A and B are shown apart, each in its own frame.
Chain A
């Protein structure tokens, strides 16, 4: 079996595959919607008009109204601004330490590996929900705390994935040859390890951003989390759920936004496949 395992060298291929172009375009469109809308559309995400509750889209209000008669367009763009920033924050705060520790643990092995793995497992074994709920209860009323609490749970995913892949790679003839040739760890990570873990990490990261938003939605489902009337995608889904029959268009908007976000990230990540 070991003889079979000569890992393929990564073929340098053009960065701009069709899939990736679509992905980047989609992401750019979402970002543009989030940041350009406030300049084009004059509406407040918190101003209510109880006479327009769950109103259908009109020319003046292209996305309709929510359950308190607030402009869905203004709320969607504000929510995307908040959620995009914070979702990326939580992915970065989870991925960077996760990957670094994963490579370190796999590379050094022995006690380093055991120690880091023990910490990671202890974190993972603590119910994530408990951690997040308690963290939020202590640091009240701060949306960022929510996402940082979530990345406390999510980093382990990157750690475990990186560690398991790197562990096999470190033993591979290609890496061992590089080591014999005197290349330093940084070179080996860049040349042999990163190309292998990158597609998986990007995929997991894309889902991680969605997980963070989904976790917030789940938390607001049990009445914890972002304080209303702050527009946030996960919170909006929970708030609009009771009106699924009357105003499916309103409930679907944050769902579609998250869907497009995940799809674009996946398209960007997915085409990195050799």
Chain B
């Protein structure tokens, strides 16, 4: 088949990303496998503690877990059977709850995606517009205030920021529920907590990018040509500023995962970060592999989106 039949977008973006997805799946599988097995401590005890809690974990429970799960299986056999199961789209059952991993992931990952999307959208509404305004008037009052505020937001750990929001918006004003999940109003505080942290960074990136663009000759030319501020920005500014912001967005998802763990446990939100941490503590291998795989693939999907957005914003990238 000749390249003529494949649209360039597919050739340069989609196919490499598909290859990456396969790579990621393999890497996640093998790496988590090696890492989990090199972790110190007896797996059977950890699993028993995860299942029965600290009051009920003892040697009898650990021995029973070992017998039940056949933990003495050689590593390579276990890895082989895991890969074979993945090919059949079978993630196995959680060693803790006994439920199919896929079922747990769907519930918990859904909650995380909901929270992350809300947070990213909110942060895009807050961060870049303020950053662009600050970048247009470097040294102006907004620029200075933004510097202090974004430094402040970035230095507040998510749990302190979240706590402040709960105290203010839930306890004092009673606008939103303090924690929990299920109804739309539950989303507000955790999403805002994450969004403020993200916006602190994207505002800085947007500000620096805008500053660079605004001082470029073509931008000045646009002004002298008699275009209004709004027109210059729309024609010459927007796209150039958008590229670093969109690129940065891809990276921000990484922060999100860190932030998500804290926010999830502070707001009693059933997310994948929380699930992953517990799975690692309890050595719930199928759950670790399942969550890591889903997170990895999700990342590939998001970055395909970022790539496509960058191509659209800056056609030079496509030609390169």
Which residues of A approach B to under 8 Å, CB–CB? 1-2, 4-8, 109, 114, 118, 121-122, 124-130, 133-134, 137-138, 140, 153, 156-157, 160-161, 164-165, 167-168, 171, 196, 199-200, 203-204, 207, 210-211, 214-215, 217-218, 221-222, 234, 237-238, 241, 244, 251, 255-256, 258-259, 261-263, 266-267, 270, 273-274
Contacts and interface: CB of A to CB of B under 8 A. Distances in A.
A218 B204 contact: no
Given A122-B24, A167-B317, A200-B244, A129 B277 contact: yes
A217 B35 CA distance: 23
Given A122-B27, A130-B288, A200-B205, A2 B316 contact: yes
Closest 3 pairs (CB-CB, A-B): A4-B218, A259-B155, A258-B155
B75 to A, nearest CB: 16
A255 B151 CA distance: 11
Contacts of A156: 251, 254
B157 A234 contact: yes
Contacts of B243: 164
Contact of B205 (A134, A171, A203): A203
B44 to A, nearest CB: 17
B13 to A, nearest CB: 12
Interface residues of B, number: 73
B257 interface: yes
Contact of A161 (B35, B36, B212, B247): B247
Interface in B218-249: 218, 221, 236, 243-244, 247-248
Nearest to B288: A130
B162 to A, nearest CB: 10
A274 B205 CA distance: 16
Contacts of B64: none
Interface stretch (B84-92, B113-121, B178-186, B259-267): B259-267
B208 interface: yes
B258 A222 contact: no
Contacts of A168: 314, 316-317
Interface string B280-320: 10000000100110011101100100000010001111001
Contacts of A118: 20, 23
A214 B28 contact: no
A124 B299 contact: yes
Nearest to B258: A218
B16 interface: yes
Nearest to A113: B320
B205 A259 contact: no
A241 B27 CA distance: 37
B40 A133 contact: no
Given A222-B277, A241-B159, A137 B258 contact: no
A160 B39 CA distance: 31
Contacts of A266: 147, 150-151, 204
Contacts of A259: 151-152, 155-156
Interface string B16-44: 10001001100110011001101110000
Contacts of A273: 138, 208, 211-212
A20 to B, nearest CB: 13
A252 B102 CA distance: 42
Given A214-B158, A218-B258, 9 more contacts: A118-B20, A118-B23, A122-B27, A126-B292, A160-B247, A218-B159, A244-B163, A263-B148, A266-B204
B115 to A, nearest CB: 15
B97 interface: no
A163 to B, nearest CB: 9
A200 B239 CA distance: 18
B127 interface: no
A109 B319 CA distance: 12
Contact of B158 (A218, A262, A267): A218
Nearest to A217: B157
Contacts of B154: 207, 210-211, 214, 262
Nearest to A234: B157
Contacts of B265: 221-222
B217 interface: yes
Nearest to A214: B157
B201 interface: yes
B59 interface: no
B160 interface: yes
A129 B160 contact: no
Contacts of B212: 196, 199, 273-274
Contact of A133 (B138, B208, B277): B277
Given A124-B299, A138-B40, A114 B16 contact: yes
B129 to A, nearest CB: 18
Contacts of A256: 155
A168 B251 CA distance: 19
A218 B299 CA distance: 21
B73 interface: no
A231 to B, nearest CB: 16
A126 B155 contact: no
A4 B36 CA distance: 53
A153 B295 CA distance: 15
A238 B155 contact: no
A161 B179 CA distance: 36
Contact of A134 (B39, B157, B201, B250): B39
A215 B49 CA distance: 26
